[in-house]
Structure 1
Amino acid sequence: MEAVIGLFVMILGVSHNVETNCDGRQNGAQCYGALGGTVVLQLMNKASETHRYQWLKKTTVILDVRRNIVLSNLIENRSFFTPSDGTFRINKLSTTDDAPVSSVLLVSDCLSQGEMKVSCSSEGAESPQYSWTLDDHTLTDSELLSGNTETNSITLKQHVSGKLVCSVRNDVSNVLKEVQISNCGE
């Protein structure tokens, strides 16, 4: 029997001495670990009970085990598979292991002519994508002075007000941050 598991390791915070355990025996399991820390994944009960096992990240084979023997381990310089208990230990977790958007900060500044510059920044996100809405609709040319709705910084025209939302997403997660804005001249 061949088992193929898709498992996401999500990185939260920064801590070099934290070890977390995760049951990865369910397809699509999501495990969390600290940046720089260690995660111990329970991939199976015993490797001897599984004829062939592959752990994938999208289409890339991270770990390939057949009959208790590790055929390949893409991250062998910082990980170790224990066939007797079916655990896979990953040390020194990095953002390339998959990093979710953990928090979003919105900062707005009034400019000299009454325009408003708004910046959206994200923490911990690998390859973030940004989008903006005002009162639940995509920003229009009549509201936007410069920038576009797919960048992390925009400038709004004078007299624009309402509920401004910045959405930051990547392959792992999506986080929204909203702020109520009003005319800069008021």
Structure 2
Amino acid sequence: MEAVLGLLVISAGVSHGLETSCDAREDGSQCYGALGGTVYLQLVTDATRYGELSFYKGSTGNKTEILRMKKDKWVIKYTPIKDRVHFINHGTFRLNNTRRNDSGEYLIETFNSVGLASGTRGLQLFIEAPVSSPQLSSECLSHGEMRVSCSSEGDGPQYSWTLDGQTLRDTETSPGEETNTITLKKGLSGDLTCTIRNYISSDTVSRRILPCPGTGFNVFVYFQLAEVIILLTICLGSYCFYKKKTCPQEKDDGE
């Protein structure tokens, strides 16, 4: 059995054009593909070393043969995906325009030149949607704290936060810095960055934040606004009362 660790390599691209590669030459490899993209699965180093090779979807008890190679010739056995697959260099299986139902367990069986089984390996394939460009939103809370949310679409997103390039510590945020929402302590300011990633892609968004005013400042402002509103109400009422009293007198003088 070839002992090579499964490795995921991600190449740049748009959300529905991502290409991912996975070394599936070790039993139990976990591979990831972008929804709508292309995934390359390296099944063996060189298929010509075997008398026969079969690639199945499903477990040992319930499997559907997808590909068979014998005497250097390969053929797609599962016609529903025939137009989306290709066997490259007799060792790498390419699947285009990936779909949700492409996820699942797969099985590789190899046979020697006289038809005897030489090895069986399994792999797990996960098809996921890449993350979208994240958006930041914030609001001031009591006591000068600030709640910041980072939103994005995609499967299985994971979040990380930095302030001025430094990872936020527990002393600077309330619990939850690995989620899409954090609460910044009073007085913090700087360039806040949210990084969101999954097994397929990653993206970041940054914003310059300023400290929120404290509770005392807010109460003071509210009192000042209340006083202004009361004064305006009194002035407006006095003016209307005065006009109501003087209008009849002005009419009599005119006559």
TM-score range, shorter chain: 0.5 to 0.7
Q: Which residue of 1 aligns with 2:60?
A: none
What is the CA–CA distance in structure 2 between the aligned matches of 1:84 and 1:173, rounded to whole Å? 23
Distance apart, 1:33 and its partner CA: 6.0
Q: Normalized against structure 1, the TM-score is what? A: 0.58
1:132 is paired with a residue whose SS is: strand
Q: Which residue of structure 1 aligns with residue 187 of structure 2?
A: 159
Note the C-alpha offset of 1:52: 4.4
Over residues 4-39 of structure 1, what are the superposed CA-to-partner deviations in whole Å (9 max), with x where a residue is unaligned?
Answer: xx897x8837xxxxxx8x999x878x98765xxxx6
TM score, norm. by length of structure 2: 0.44
The residue aligned with 1:80 is: 81
Stretches of structure 2 lacking an aligned partner (at least 5 in a row): 1-7, 24-31, 42-47, 58-62, 88-93, 104-125, 215-255
In structure 2, relative to structure 1, the CA distance for the partners of 1:62 and 1:142 (3 Å cut) is farther
Q: 1:84 to 1:114 in 2, by over 3 A?
A: closer
The equivalences for 1:88-99 within 5 A come to 90=97, 97-99=127-129
Distance 1:32-1:151 versus aligned 2 partners, 3 A rule: closer
Aligned AA (1:166): C
1:168 aligns with 2:196: yes
Residue in 1 that maps onto 2:217: none
Q: Which whole-Å CA distance do the structure 2 matches of 1:53 and 1:23 have between them?
A: 24
> What is the SS of the residue equivalent to 2:15?
strand
Root-mean-square deviation over aligned CA pairs: 4.8
| Structure with the bigger percentage of helix | 2
Tell me the secondary structure at the aligned position of residue 102 of structure 1. Answer: coil
Q: Determine if the alignment matches structure 1 residue 149 to structure 2 residue 152.
A: no
> For residues 33-79 of structure 1, what are the alpha-carbon distances to aligned partners after superposition, in whole Å with 9 as ceiling and x for unaligned?
65xxxx68899xxxxxx8747599xxxx99741134446x6xx8xx4
Paired positions, count = 154
Q: SS where residue 80 of structure 1 aligns? A: helix
191, 212, 232: which one aligns with 1:184: 212
Q: Which residue of 1 aligns with 2:67?
A: 65
Instruction: Return closer, same or farther for 1:119/1:85 CA change in 2, 3 Å cut-off.
Output: closer
Identity of aligned residues (%): 35
